[in-house]
């Protein structure tokens, strides 16, 4: 069995980097472009790696290459080794500086808008100055980035706890932050605005403003016995609020989306027959020991507690 110690002792880290990139990009030429190498250099490192492990790692597939089962196994181990070394580098950089650290963070859009600004404001008074390299990322992509060691901290949102399975090659620590409830946005004075909450079937005759990612909603509407009449498609939350406020149609939005910019022309009501959304932080256990990561995570948890009530609830482990 190939273990991480064997990889570090026998194989060059440069070769592991090349293998991980060939696995990600699917060809030697694309890997060369991304790493800034020549294609012959990529071929050289791959041949050297195959000699070191004693088995073929790639086979030709059209204009690119495909990893063999052994290649996939080694690529998984390589990603783990490289991610661990990046964590060590971040940890010791932070220990050396003691007042500064950089965190690569991936997050769903609503947390970027509603939670992160307040969390960064809290860090302003901290002895650790955190530089956040932020990417807005869908939850399923965040798991891949963590697995590849391309992000230090990911904020994901699952409609059911454990809905998105963790990659087997990367043990992750999951920290609950918020429980978010789906709301229907109604224009002020709408007949349903007098209710405390609304069911999906109550909205069968409405005109809808929908996001591009709508498959789940369409399935639930079909289960409720109707197909929504779509008048506008947009993924921008501010635009959605404006359209609802102007009476163009109704829309759905998670509670976090309602926090930063309430519109007095819009009356949100909880949607009864929709599962709660569980917002969690995901990170590798080693990353939690990096002072900058720990400080940012603590600030995120504090803001989650402050914002609980109303549209969102604080999560419990």
Q: What percent of the chain has pLDDT over 70?
A: 85
pLDDT digits (tens, 9 = 90+) for 167-224: 445 688 899 988 888 999 999 999 999 999 999 999 999 999 999 989 989 999 999 9
Is 182-270 CATH 3.40.190.10? yes
Q: Is the pTM of this model over 0.75?
A: no
What residue ranges do the domains of the chain occupy?
Answer: 4-79, 99-177+277-314, 182-270
Is 4-79 CATH 1.10.10.10? yes
Common-topology check for domains 99-177+277-314 and 182-270: yes
Fold of the domain built from segment(s) 99-177+277-314: D-Maltodextrin-Binding Protein; domain 2 (3.40.190)
Q: What is the distance between the alpha carbons of residues 72 and 147, in angstroms, rounded to a whole number? A: 13
Q: What is the distance between the alpha carbons of residues 209 and 231, in angstroms, rounded to a whole number? A: 6
Alpha helices by DSSP H, listed for the chain, are: 4-10, 13-25, 28-35, 39-53, 69-97, 109-114, 116-123, 139-147, 215-223, 237-245, 255-258, 291-307
Classify burial at 58, counting beta carbons within 10 Å of its beta carbon; exposed 0-12, middle 13-18, buried 19 or more: buried
Classify burial at 313, counting beta carbons within 10 Å of its beta carbon; exposed 0-12, middle 13-18, buried 19 or more: middle
Among 281, 282, 280, 283, CA closest to 87: 283
């Amino acid at each position: 069995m190939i273990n991480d110690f064997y990889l570090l002792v026998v194989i060059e880290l440069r070769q592991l980097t090349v293998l991980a990139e060939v696995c990600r990009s699917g060809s030697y030429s694309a890997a060369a472009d991304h790493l800034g190498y020549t294609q012959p250099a990529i071929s050289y490192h791959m041949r050297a790696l195959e000699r070191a492990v004693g088995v073929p790692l790639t086979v030709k597939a059209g204009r690119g290459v495909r990893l063999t089962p052994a290649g996939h196994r080694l690529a998984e181990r390589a990603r783990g080794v490289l991610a661990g070394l990046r964590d060590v580098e971040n940890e010791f950089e932070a220990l050396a500086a003691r007042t500064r650290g950089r965190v690569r963070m991936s997050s769903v859009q609503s947390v970027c808008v509603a939670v992160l600004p307040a969390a960064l404001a809290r860090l302003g008074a901290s002895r650790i100055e955190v530089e956040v390299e932020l990417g807005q990322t869908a939850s399923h992509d965040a798991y891949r980035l963590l697995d590849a060691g391309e992000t230090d901290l990911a904020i994901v949102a699952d409609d059911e706890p454990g809905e998105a399975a963790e990659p087997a090659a990367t043990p992750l620590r999951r920290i609950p932050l918020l429980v978010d409830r789906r709301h229907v946005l109604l224009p002020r004075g709408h007949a349903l605005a007098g209710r405390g909450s609304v069911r999906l079937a109550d909205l069968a005759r409405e005109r809808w403003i929908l996001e591009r990612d709508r498959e789940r909603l369409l399935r639930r509407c079909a289960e409720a016995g109707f197909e929504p009449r779509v008048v506008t498609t947009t993924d921008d939350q501010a635009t959605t609020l404006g359209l609802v406020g102007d009476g163009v149609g109704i829309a759905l939005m998670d509670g976090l989306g309602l926090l930063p910019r309430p519109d007095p022309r819009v009356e949100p009501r909880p949607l009864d027959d929709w599962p709660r959304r569980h917002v969690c932080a995901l990170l590798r256990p080693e990353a939690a020991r990096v002072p900058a990561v720990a400080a940012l995570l603590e600030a995120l948890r504090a803001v989650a507690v402050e914002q609980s009530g109303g549209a969102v609830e604080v999560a419990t482990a």
